[in-house]
């Protein structure tokens, strides 16, 4: 069977194909040929439309993925910023020195004592000793999981510095496991006053306080006695 082909009509359809392809190439993914006739050419036209459909899907998928990656990246960057900020905050937070009792300072240490933190901690404690004139400070290390030679060294230095400022430093919260480990390491902490728990340390501090008050009172009495005589 032979078909009648209208040359003009065909030229027009080929032009349309060219237009659509050009539009797609230029980025218009909505362009389609939408063939109406049913003949040899319409197969090609439909195939081209399908191809554009696939291409559109593919591109959309890729755009979506790229957007997701970008979103994730910016989220991670944001998280990183938060973490850095928190680290800075923690450095401050992790060395809160507070005066809990007349003459007694407490510094609870939690987490890992790296050199940077220890430095901040030591400075805070010494400053507070000078500022308050407290003569007893308790360093509670219940929250420190590992005491190695470096940490022990830092603790010893802190205690010695506090002593130079006229404050006795008690270390509390050394667990049995850590106590044993310190002994095996060979570190001598016998020059430091240590207490098993924070409670023990506080009781000790209060007794010490009372004693020094008694001494003060006594000297007050003796001096007034002397005056009367």
Partner 1 sequence: MLGLTSDINWETLSKHLIDSENNIVEVRQLVRYHAKQLSMGIIDQTRITTAVSELLRNMYNYGGGGEVLIEKGIVDDKISLIITCTDHGSGIEDLELAMSDGYTSGNGMGYGLPGAKRLVDRFEIKSELNMGTIVRVMKWK
Ligand X SMILES: Nc1ncnc2c1ncn2[C@@H]1O[C@H](COP(=O)(O)OP(=O)(O)OP(=O)(O)O)[C@@H](O)[C@H]1O
Site string for ligand X, 59-98 (x = CB under 6 A): ----------------------------------------
What's the rounded Cα separation, in Å, for the pair 147 and 155?
A: 10
For ligand X, the closer CB: 87 or 150: 150
Residue 15 contact among partner 1, ligand X, none, beta carbon within 5 to 8 Å by kind: none
Q: Provide the 10 A C-beta neighbour count for residue 17.
A: 16
Q: What is the DSSP letter of 166?
A: T
The structure tokens listed for 75 are: 């989220």
Options 24-32, 104-112, 147-155, 174-182: segment touching ligand X (CB under 6 A): 147-155
Q: Which of 6, 85, 150, 212 binds ligand X (CB under 6 A)?
A: 150
Write out the binding residues for partner 1, residues 112-131 only, by CB under 8 A: 112, 114-116
- Note whether 220 and 184 are within 8 A (CB): no
The whole-angstrom separation of Cα 195 and Cα 106 is 13
Per CB under 6 A, the segment of 62-70, 107-115, 146-154, 206-214 that binds ligand X is 146-154
Give the residue, chosen from 52, 109, 147, 201, that forms a contact with partner 1 under the rule CB under 8 A. Answer: 147
Residue 146 interacts with ligand X (CB under 6 A): yes or no: no
CB of 189 to ligand X, least distance (A): 14
- Give SS3 for 172: strand
Q: Identify any residues that bridge with 172 across adjacent strands, giving them in sequence order.
A: 140, 195
Tokens of 54: 């696939």
Q: Contacts with partner 1: how many residues (CB under 8 A)?
A: 21
> Which residue's CB is nearer to ligand X, number 34 or number 150?
150
> Least Å distance between CB 83 and partner 1?
11
DSSP letter assigned to residue 108:
E
HSE at residue 171, side-chain half, CA atoms within 13 A, is 25
Site for partner 1 (CB under 8 A): which residue of 2, 27, 184, 223?
A: 184
Q: Which residue has the tokens 């990656």?
A: 69
Q: Which helix (H) or strand (E) holds 221?
A: helix 198-228
Question: Given the complex with partner 1, which of 128 and 154 has the nearer CB atom?
Answer: 154
Residue 132 tokens, joined = 């308050």
- 108: β partners: 140
Residues that bind ligand X (CB under 6 A): 149-150, 153
The residues that touch partner 1, with contacts defined as CB under 8 A, are 112, 114-116, 145-150, 152-153, 176-178, 180-181, 184-187
């Amino acid at each position: 069977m032979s078909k009648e082909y209208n040359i003009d009509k065909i030229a027009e359809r080929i032009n349309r194909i060219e237009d659509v392809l050009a539009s797609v190439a230029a980025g218009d993914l909505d362009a389609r040929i939408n063939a109406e006739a049913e003949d040899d050419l319409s197969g090609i036209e439909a195939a081209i439309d399908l191809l554009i459909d696939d291409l559109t899907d593919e591109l959309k998928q890729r755009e979506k993925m790229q957007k997701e990656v970008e979103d994730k990246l910016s989220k991670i960057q944001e998280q990183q910023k938060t973490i850095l900020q928190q680290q800075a905050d923690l450095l401050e937070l992790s060395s809160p020195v507070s005066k809990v009792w007349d003459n007694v300072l407490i510094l609870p240490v939690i987490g890992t004592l790296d050199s940077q933190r220890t430095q901040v901690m030591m400075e805070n404690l010494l400053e507070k000793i000078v500022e308050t004139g407290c003569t007893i400070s308790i360093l509670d290390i219940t929250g420190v999981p590992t005491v190695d030679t470096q940490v022990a060294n830092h603790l010893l230095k802190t205690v010695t510095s506090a002593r130079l400022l006229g404050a006795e430093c008690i270390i509390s919260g050394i667990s049995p496991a850590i106590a044993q480990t310190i002994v095996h390491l060979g570190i001598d902490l016998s020059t430091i006053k240590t207490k098993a728990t924070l409670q023990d340390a506080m009781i000790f501090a209060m007794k010490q306080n009372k004693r020094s008050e008694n001494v003060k009172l006594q000297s007050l009495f003796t001096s007034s006695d002397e005056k009367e005589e």
